[in-house]
Structure 1
Amino acid sequence: MVDSWSKVSQSITKSTLTTLEKLKFISPTPVQAACIPLLLNYKDVAAEAITGSGKTLAFVIPILELLKKRDVPWKKHEVGAVIVSPTRELAQQIYEVVESFLEDVPNLSVSLVIGGKINYVDNSHIANIIIGTPGILEALFDKKINGVIELSRCVKSLEVLVLDEADRLLDMGFEASVNTILYHLPKQRRTGLFSATQTDEVEKLIRAGLRNPVRVSIKEKARVQDFSNDIQKTPSTLNNYYMIVESDEKLNQLVKFIQTHRRQKIMLFLSTCAGVDYFSKILPPLLKKSQVYCTHGKMKNRKKVITRYKSQGGGILICTDVLARGIDIPDVNWVIQYDPPTSASMFVHRCGRTARIGNTGSALVFLTPEEESFVEFIEINQKVPLVVMNQLEIEHNCIPDIQTMAINDRAVFETGMRAFVSFVQSYSKHDCYLIFKMKNLNFGRLATGFGLLKVPKMPEVKGKDLSGFNEVPIDIDGIKFSDKTLEKQRQEKLDKMKSEEDAIKSKKLNRPPRSVAWSEKLEQKDRKIRRKEIKVLKKEKRKMEMTEEDLDSLDNDFRMIKKLKKSKISQEDFDKEFEINSDPEL
């Protein structure tokens, strides 16, 4: 691989080499040494590489070199490369890398298509390299840009398509969008498919979108045509730890751990957006000497938060799994998985935010005693060994401090309730449900660990044992927002609700009197019942009278039949009695 890279590096343009020097690029990683020569030699590549192995440069360098080597200059409306990414953050990161290479290449342009907005270089033409998320790219193929240009007409000369984090693209439900993009692109192109894990869906995509691809599997060494599952899926420079701790002690252990690693850079993963919002409120007062950042998929300022965190030498970034894939944040010392990962593969992706490209790093996952079998599962399923970390000695219990925050600020109280509910709901849908069982959750200790004042009402908690929780005796409705604007809005809402309730009560009390007295209405009802009874009796009497007449008639007929049989009367007399007409035609 290194020999093939040395040959290729001789043909790489000077501008690219200059940028690599600026990026302090010394030698290629295995995935770069394997994939760059293949793509430059017009091969389709399906690469599986451990997280943090340098996949971005593995496709960015070939794209730039292939586009620069074309004899005919690229026109404004010609798209030479399309890079599809599952998340905005990863697309933004790729865009920044490509942009740094194009500083010395004025005849090529790049555009970023994310979040419903199209950011072109000069807002008047499609760039030669388009980077975006699948949903927006799919929409662009069905629309006209500036009312004139159709994207499907601009990709006829496409050289390269790259699907980054392909397994994540399919996990997030973008399969239909990816298929639409493939449909509009020319068949004669180079395609690079990069992923950290191999799945059945990725295999289908390889068969559908790549022509005779060269398969590259990078674990600790570069391997072509090898997808062995017996190789560790995390870097050897990554130290993985786990801590067994009860739910009501987990927060204390987290605070103590961060305090002992105050000068280091830490990423803290939670399972829900509500959890991130809650921890972003309670951790800063508990960690006064540490800088706390937070971001999740529902926040609008994610780019600014990540940029600020990247520039810091330390601090804590609280986030969800939106940052678990592909995001390159330099010098992360620790990754803490406070909530259990949604799947075994997500465990690896979270850990991959540290120990990137040969650097060292550590990761820690918190587990309750009932979840300890997850350690063995990860070792077997992902080939990742974990080392136990003993609990830290706690001098101060921070749970009462959090409850005090909730009493003094309704925003903390309400956010904590939402975080608890969202965590329980997320836990109930866990992929590893045989390990993370709802019946094993100690809801009392869990509520205590969240620092709640009371346990919220929800179906999952109904009828459960809450013996590990002591509800704080306080008037919940009396808790006020520390933000005066929010408190004013709450009071206005309460006043409105009270006025509506008073209006309903007043309507009931002041309704008009009945038109008929109650006693008179009762007499009318009795008369109606008596009339009905009389009708029923008369009807039954008529039935009885009709029955007696019928019986007398039957007796008479029976006597006449007996007389006929004994020949006491003739047939003519019998017929005459019954008025029988013997004419057969009648």
Structure 2
Amino acid sequence: MVNKDWDILKPTLSVPVLNSIKKQGFKAMTPIQAAVIPLLLSCKDVVAEAVTGSGKTLAFVVPMLEMLRKKEKDSTLRKDFVYAVIISPTRELATQIYEVIKQFLLEPEVAHISLCCLVGGRPVEADVENVKKGAHIVVCTPGRLQDLLAEQKNLNLPGRIRDLELLILDEADRLLDLGFNNTLTTILQYLPRQRRTGLFSATQTKELQDLVRAGLRNPVLVSVKEKSSISTPVALQNYYIVVEPQDKFLFLLNFIRNRQTMKGLFFLPTCACVDYWADVLPVVLTDLKIFAIHGKMKLKRAKILEKFRGAESAILLCTDLMARGLDIPEVEWVIQWEPPTNPAALVHRVGRTARGGAAGCSLIPLLPTEDAYVPFIKVNQKVELQDWSQSSDQIKITDKLRDKVLKILHNQQMSDRGILDKGMRAFVSHIRAYSKHECNILLQLKELPLGHIATSYGLLKLPLMPEIKEEHKTQFIGPNEKIDFNSIPYKDKQKEASRLQKLQEYKKTGIWPSKKKKKIAKTQAWEQTKLLKQVKKEKRKKRKETKTKMVKEGKNNKKRKTVTQEELEELAADVALIKKLKKRKINDDQFDNAFEIGK
């Protein structure tokens, strides 16, 4: 399917919208745009599947603008109503879509259409005020939208969306992966049934089909593939290289050094890995800007992403937070520390480059025990990886280079205990993440040479963890000199003062003072946590109402009868149980059974 000129849509698109498209520099429609736009304009529900970077955003933005332009022309566009809602999985993607739409609304003919971005990371009151000012188009994340619909009664958002005409679920499979199933179900209950719905994704899953059945009416399925047997853009070259585990960092370091003007994304397994390498890489890559971003950076993310977008050459260290939907201009390379936990994530990661027909490359280093991943990913995700060792760029790793880099890494950790701690956390979180690989038949934790991997991290010592065996200790290469770990200081003065105080106490008592260990709750989806909080809130409200009723009826004025001996004995037994629990003579389950909690 070839790209078509926008003039084909002249009978269905108004002149202002067409002019706005051309002013933005979009010369021709991509296949997904040519297929989806006429369907949405003719009031059809659409499920669109296309490779990443194929122009899905414009496929729903254009019909949305045309719909609002028509309402404005007919004088039925009310200032206090919401007519289009676009839901995306992350605040970064929502902000990107918001910026795209904002550029279109600069045209005088559509300047009266109001736009609002509702995402987390800022006070909900600010979003309430923005919606009250007017928001014909709302771009949002699901959690914030649910909060505004269900909790902010003074806003009356359910009343504002009663004439909603278009709902878009962007990167819908990712919405479900992040645990927003119940949230989306709640949101759909507030929306009018007579609407157009577009569901956009790069991959189709069973969960996605369930959502389609729940939220769409006889949708048209549009599946646009490239003219090739692969699932990534044709202009994208994907490479792999087999390296020894202790040399992985050295290889990637030299690879980046050989491309000092490159702009690339560097995907790491965990947030802790991003934090550690963000401290380490600037010391060994002094001529290249290094940025870092992950999901635990709540307030900094937007600023970091903006700085990276504006940089001519830079590396952005990131997690899979950056793997979906984001369009960053001029990204030439996508580098990965190791295969992603979910095989499908590889398609989305590499799709951050070679967007909109531009050329791009990706590279993934594999350990000798992981070479079976190459044929697996070709069959499983239709991604063909070419061997980088066959290229003209032969990167050599010498003993001299290894010793030099290791010394730099060791010195960094010995000069700042904070970096030492980050390195330990990064390594441990990396190994934990590796153990959760979906394709763990190929990528087995027991085959990993953990000592060599710890060497590549430049650790001063191996952490205490059950996965570390004797064979791993013999593989590990640490500093040549003996280190007194108690003498390694924090650069942070407050942390160092606290550590020195604890160290003095340790020398006196032989026991390191620490906070009491808190009971670690089982990990729950945030949606379940929110539901439990709501249940507790309702119970408190019911108790308060019962108490108020009793006061009015005078039932609480009755004097309590004398406490019997049997009641005193029961109370004493209960107190004894509580003391046993505090002293850890019994566990929580035994305590619950004794009190018959939950029965």
Residue 389 (str. 1) matches residue 388 (str. 2): yes
Given candidates 131, 138, 149, the residue that maps to 1:141 is 149
Say whether 1:79 aligns with 2:92: no
Deviation at 1:10, TM superposition (A): 4.8
Instruction: Give CA deviations for 1:419-463 in whole Å, capped at 9, x if unaligned.
Output: 001001101111111111011010110110110000010122255
The aligned runs of 1:144-183 (5 Å cut-off) are 144=152, 147=154, 149-183=155-189
Task: Give the corresponding residue for 1:317.
Answer: 316
Instruction: Determine the structure 1 residue equivalent to 2:353.
Output: 354
The alignment partner of 1:394 has SS state of: coil
Aligned counterpart, 1:511? none
- Alignment of 1:60 with 2:61, yes or no, is yes
- Identical pairs, percent: 46
Alpha-carbon separation, structure 1, partners of 2:276 and 2:472: 25
Question: Contact between 1:38 and 1:45, CA under 8 Å: does it hold in 2?
Answer: yes
Q: Is 1:432 aligned to 2:433, yes or no?
A: no
| C-alpha distance in 2 between matches for 1:102 and 1:496 | 64
1:344-423 matches, cutoff 5 A: 344-390=343-389, 392-395=395-398, 396-397=401-402, 398-423=405-430
Aligned residues of 1:294 and 1:317 also touching (Cα < 8 A): yes
> Which residue number in structure 2 is paired with residue 244 of structure 1?
242
Higher Cα Rg: structure 1 or 2?
1
> 1:294 corresponds to which residue?
292
| 1:502–1:201 CA distance, 2 compared to 1 (3 A) | closer
Match of 2:35 in 1: 34
Which residue does 1:111 correspond to in 2? 116
Q: Distance in 2 between matches of 1:26 and 1:503?
A: 67
Residues 9 and 331 of structure 1, relative CA distance in 2, 3 Å threshold: farther
1:476-505 CA-partner distances (Å, limit 9, x unpaired): 11111234444234324434666776999x
Contact 1:143 1:150 in 2 (8 A): no
**Could you tell me whether the CA contact under 8 Å between 1:292 and 1:318 is conserved in 2?**
yes
What SS is found at the alignment partner of 2:355?
A: coil
Please state whether the residue corresponding to 1:186 is helix, strand or coil. Answer: coil
Aligned with 2:490 (options 481, 498, 522):
481
1:453 aligns with 2:450: no
Tell me the equivalent position of 1:8: 9
**Aligned partner letter, 1:262:** Q
Residue number in structure 2 paired with 1:274:
272
Aligned to 2:198: 192
1:239-289 deviation per Cα after TM superposition (whole angstroms, max 9, x unaligned): 000010121100000110000011011110001000000110111110111
**CA apart distance, 1:112:** 1.1
Q: Which residue of 210, 217, 222 corresponds with 1:211?
A: 217
Is the contact between residue 74 and residue 107 of structure 1 (CA under 8 Å) also seen in structure 2? no
- The SS at the match of 1:144 is coil
Aligned residue pair count: 494
Give 1:566's aligned residue: none
Rounded Cα–Cα distance in structure 2 between residues aligned with 1:128 and 1:342: 39
Q: For the structure 1 residues 474 and 183, does the alpha-carbon distance in structure 2 shift closer, same or farther, using more than 3 Å as the test? A: same
1:554 corresponding residue in structure 2:
none
1:165, CA displacement in angstroms? 0.4
- Tell me the equivalent position of 1:519: none
Looking at structure 1, the residues matched to 446 and 262 of structure 2 have their Cα atoms a distance apart, in angstroms, of 37
Aligned letter for 2:175?
Answer: L
Q: Which residue of structure 1 aligns with residue 583 of structure 2?
A: none
Measured in 2, the distance between the counterparts of 1:46 and 1:123 equals 28
Residues 379 and 386, structure 1, Cα contact 8 Å, conserved in 2: yes
Q: Which of the numbers 134, 138, 146 marks the counterpart of 1:130?
A: 138
1:19 aligns with 2:20: yes
Question: Which one-letter code corresponds to 1:185 in the other structure?
Answer: L
Q: Give the 3-state SS of the residue equivalent to 2:173 in structure 1.
A: helix
User: What residue number does 1:543 align with?
Assistant: none
Give CA-to-partner distance per residue, 1:308-328, whole Å, 9 cap, x none: 111111111100000000011
Which residues of 2 match residues 494-573 of structure 1 at below 5 A?
494-495=503-504
- Distance (whole Å) between structure 2 residues aligned to residue 385 and residue 160 of structure 1: 38
C-alpha distance in structure 2 between counterparts of 1:78 and 1:116, whole Å: 25
For the residues of structure 2 that align with 1:169 and 1:463, how far apart are their CA atoms? 43
Deviation at residue 393 of structure 1 after TM alignment: 1.0
- 1:277 & 1:503 partners in 2: Cα distance? 26
Alpha-carbon distance between aligned partners in 2 of 1:492 and 1:125, rounded to the nearest angstrom? 54
Distance 1:427 1:327 in 2: 25
Aligned partner of 2:93 among 90, 94, 100: 90
Aligned mates of 1:40, 1:493 — CA distance in 2: 68
More divergent stretch after superposition (428-437 vs 95-104): 95-104
How big is the shift at 1:347?
A: 0.6
User: Which residue type is aligned with residue 249 of structure 1?
Assistant: D
Which amino acid is 2:456 matched to?
G
| 1:333 partnered with 2:366 | no
CA distance in 1, matches of 2:130, 2:444: 54
Change (3 A) 1:496 1:55: farther
Contact 1:5 1:37 in 2 (8 A): no
Q: Is the 8 A contact 2:5 2:28 kept in 1?
A: no
Change (3 A) 1:116 1:316: closer
Secondary structure class of the residue paired with 2:316: strand
1:468 to 465, 470, 475: 475
Deviation at 1:75, TM superposition (A): 1.9
Output one character per residue of 1:522-544: Cα deviation in whole Å (capped at 9) or x when no partner. Answer: xxxxxxxxxxxxxxxxxxxxxxx
Aligned in 2, Cα 1:265/1:173: closer, same or farther, shift over 3 Å?
A: same
Q: Distance in 2 between matches of 1:244 and 1:502?
A: 46
- Evaluate the alpha carbon distance shift between residue 156 and residue 296 of structure 1 in structure 2; reply closer, same or farther with a 3 A threshold: same
Instruction: Please list every run of 5 or more consecutive structure 1 residues that lacks an aligned counterpart in the other structure.
Output: 222-229, 505-586
Report Cα offsets for 1:395-415 as digits up to 9, x if no partner: 522122111111112122111
Question: In structure 1, what is the Cα distance between the partners aligned to 2:433 and 2:4?
Answer: 49
Give, in whole Å, the separation in 2 of the partners of 1:123 and 1:31: 31
Residues 43 and 214, structure 1, Cα contact 8 Å, conserved in 2: yes
* TM-score, with structure 1 as normaliser: 0.81
Shift of 1:162: 0.3
1:126 Cα shift? 4.8
Please say if residues 116 and 130 of structure 2, whose CA atoms lie closer than 8 Å, have aligned partners that are also in contact.
Answer: no
Letter in 2 for 1:108: I
Contact 1:67 1:159 survives alignment (8 Å)? no
- In structure 2, C-alpha distance between the alignment counterparts of 1:3 and 1:56, rounded to whole Å: 17
1:102 aligns with 2:109: no
Letter of the 2:318 partner, please give it.
C
Q: Which amino acid aligns with 2:96?
A: Q
Please report how far the alpha carbon of residue 6 of structure 1 lies from its aligned counterpart in structure 2 after TM superposition.
3.5
Question: SS state of the match for residue 451, structure 1?
Answer: coil
d(CA) in 2 for partners of 1:502, 1:195: 55
Question: Amino acid of the residue matched to residue 240 of structure 1?
Answer: N
